[in-house]
Amino acid sequence: MGETPIGGGIGGEEQSGILPGEGEGGMASGPAKFVQEGASIDYTPGADVLVGAVVVQAELIGIATAPIKSGQLGSLAVSGVFDFPKATGASSAIPAGTNTYWDAAAQNATKNAAAGANKLIGKAVKATVDADTVVRVRMLQ
């Protein structure tokens, strides 16, 4: 059984002659090649990583969804909605829709970018008040 060309038509419609994966008119491919959907990425740590650990790689934030042993291939989630520990105290409330950053030194989420020292996690999806210790964030990478 052969592949049906895209636009294969029903009831006598004209066929385009383009098969899936051929692109426009069978043109050559560009330099990029699809690898994966990207909800998670491969990661091999230099030290053991606990489930729920926030891993910062330059401007990329990932969350370990399972423990990863040092030197062994694992994966980090780079999309999804996660609860992060939140900074508390005066003016620490994070309104829904606000950019939220990871403060690696304090090990918590904040709305303060700290002039680029804190790395963007994503946007808060649930408003918090100053006393809240958790913020729910939709990751944006």
For 34-87, how does the pLDDT look when each residue is reduced to its tens digit (9 = 90+)? 888 899 999 999 999 999 999 999 999 999 999 999 999 999 999 999 999 999
Q: What mean pLDDT value characterizes the chain? A: 88
Which among 105, 60, 100 has a CA at the least distance from the CA of 81?
A: 100
Are the C-beta atoms of 104 and 89 separated by less than 8 Å? no
Mean per-residue pLDDT for 24-30?
74
Quote the percentage of the chain above a pLDDT of 70.
Answer: 82
pLDDT of residue 135: 98
Q: What global pTM score does this model have?
A: 0.77
User: pLDDT-derived band of residue 26, with 50, 70 and 90 as boundaries?
Assistant: low
pLDDT in the model for residue 35: 86
Higher pLDDT residue, 56 or 4? 56
Q: What residue spans define the domains of the chain?
A: 38-78, 80-141
Q: What is the pLDDT of residue 140?
A: 92
Q: Measuring CA to CA, which residue among 101, 110, 114 is closest to residue 59?
A: 101
Chain position carrying tokens 């385009």: 16
